Amino acid sequence: MRRFERKQNVFANKDALGESYQPDQIEERDEEIEEYMHALQPIIDGWEPNNVFVYGNTGVGKTAVTEFLLDQLQSDVTAYDDIELSVIFLNCKTLNSSYQVAVELVNKLRQPGNEISSTGYPQQTVFNKLFDELEAIGGTVLLVLDEIDSIGKRDELLYELPRARAHDNLEETKIGVLGISNDFKFRDELDPRVQDTLCERELQFPPYDAPELENILQSRADVAIREGSVADGVLGFCAALAARDSGSARQALDLLRLAGEVAESEDATCIELEHAEQARSRLERERVEEGMRELTTHGRLALLAVVSKTAKQETPCRTRAVYDEYASLCESAGTDTLAQRSVHNHLADLRMLGILSASENRSGSRGNYYSYELNVPFTSAIEAMSDVLRLSPEIETIREIGLMNDIT
Ligand code: ADP
Ligand code: MG
């Protein structure tokens, strides 16, 4: 008997919803593309390239647009015999210093077998080896450093590279550095001298809104999903959720892919809204769990207090009331209570993680105060809590109260 049988009832090309897929077409980024092309124009004109710095939240198309444009540039440049363009692309996600980035680049440019070890050299030696490799290439070299924010404050290479020609480290090669960052703060925290050169041209990618995300999803669904296999409203649902949360196309695509997987696992031939809703609560639950793993015991108890208030239909609710609930949970757990101030800080952290939302109320003479409520479905939160907190009878009671009150 065969155990595995090909399904493919829903997906025509599931990989097209995955991370490594490169779309043929970029939607909704015409302005950014125009500005980007402008910044790259000197390469085609035969001059020294600009240094370009691209930033924006994750999932807003920075990598996709960059790869798309650089492919285009590399093919268009072949029309000009006097330009030799080499593009070197490095994702720095796992590299957390200039030193590591430089070693990685040297080894990328060297023949196999000739690599240098990733420790043991003075930094300047590695930089010099890098300049030698770059000089050997000649022509115009565009160095793309994606997710460059992971090097943090160890940003010396970003100072050295753009100055390599001025400092006579490079003569034959014209170099341009294209840095891409998910972190807005990274730019501001760069050494001012680095800012001046690296950020010669700056491009900001804003988050997508719901209609933009829906178009992106539609163009991807055309490739990834069988005709007629996605019900009306599903793409809009995924787009709206991602727009409200992060404005990330990645988030919207992940949601759609998971909805498709849910549909296939139920042997459906069409992705229905209910599949998307299941996918949403699964992703949300994962996010809450991820956030909760980072929390201390008291952070978790503070969250459970809000979950408990939610079950009783008593949210939004003020810090004071959350605190009382928290104190009684501490008692059940046999833990000492923290002061109200510290619990307030935990609530603020939970808000940063997107697990709680808060509204500010004005109350005249007594000043302002915050009211908290869950920002994720009750069921996702309670499931996640029962996985990480050892308070089973209490959690069961809260779950039952929630059930009684029809909270989902
Ligand atoms: P970033 O690099 O900003 O984190 P990506 O470029 O990796 O984001 O985009 C995340 C996902 O969304 C990728 O699968 C990408 O192909 C897709 N995507 C993002 N923006 C667009 C767009 N404008 N048109 C088509 N696909 C897009
Ligand atoms: Mg990226």
As a residue count, the chain comes to: 408
The residue whose CA is least distant from atom 20 of ligand 1 is 61
230 is in an annotated binding site: no
Q: What's the pLDDT score for residue 365?
A: 64
- Ligand 2: distance of its center to the CA of 344 in Å? 35
Contact present, 8 and 260 (Cβ < 8 Å): no
pLDDT, tens digit, for every residue of 324-380? Answer: 999 999 999 888 999 999 999 999 989 888 889 998 877 666 677 889 999 888 988
Average pLDDT score over residue span 260-278:
95
Query: CB under 6 Å to ligand 1: residues?
Result: 23, 26-29, 56, 58-64, 216, 249-250, 253
Fold held by 208-290: Helicase, Ruva Protein; domain 3 (1.10.8)
| pLDDT band with cut points at 50, 70 and 90 for residue 234 | very high
208 is in an annotated binding site: yes
Placement of tokens 């939302």 in the chain = 357
The atom of ligand 1 lying closest to the CA of 67 is 6
318 is in an annotated binding site: no
Whole-model pTM: value is 0.81
Pseudo-torsion of CA 6, 11, 12, 16, nearest 10°?
A: -120
The residue whose CA is least distant from atom 15 of ligand 1 is 64
Class (C level, CATH) for 30-205: alpha beta
Structural domain spans, the chain: 30-205, 208-290, 295-404
d(CA 253, CA 263): 15
Q: What's the pLDDT score for residue 245?
A: 84
62 is in an annotated binding site: yes
Q: What's the pLDDT score for residue 347?
A: 93
| pLDDT band with cut points at 50, 70 and 90 for residue 387 | confident
| pLDDT band with cut points at 50, 70 and 90 for residue 119 | confident
pLDDT, tens digit, for every residue of 285-332? Answer: 787 778 877 788 899 999 999 999 999 999 999 999 999 999 999 999
Q: What's the pLDDT score for residue 383?
A: 84
d(CA 197, CA 184): 17
- Whether the per-residue pLDDT at 406 is higher than 70: the answer is yes
Q: What's the pLDDT score for residue 28?
A: 93
d(CA 224, CA 271): 12
Testing ligand 1's pocket by substitution, the residue of 13, 19, 33, 60 carrying the most ligand atoms inside 8 A of its CB is 60
Q: What is the mean pLDDT of the chain?
A: 91
Q: What's the pLDDT score for residue 174?
A: 94
- Whether the per-residue pLDDT at 72 is higher than 90: the answer is yes
Q: Which helix (H) or strand (E) holds 358?
A: strand 356-362
Average pLDDT score over residue span 246-265:
95
Q: What's the pLDDT score for residue 38?
A: 95
| pLDDT band with cut points at 50, 70 and 90 for residue 40 | very high
Class (C level, CATH) for 295-404: mainly alpha
Testing ligand 1's pocket by substitution, the residue of 28, 250, 253, 255 carrying the most ligand atoms inside 8 A of its CB is 250
- Whether the per-residue pLDDT at 37 is higher than 90: the answer is yes
What single string gives the DSSP state of each residue in 104-172?
HHHHHHSPTT-PPPSSSS-HHHHHHHHHHHHHHH-EEEEEEEETGGGGTT--HHHHHGGGTTTTTS-SS
Testing ligand 1's pocket by substitution, the residue of 216, 218, 235, 251 carrying the most ligand atoms inside 8 A of its CB is 216
Average pLDDT score over residue span 201-218:
96
The atom of ligand 1 lying closest to the CA of 23 is 16
Whether omega for the bond prior to residue 316 falls within 30 degrees of 0, making it cis, is yes
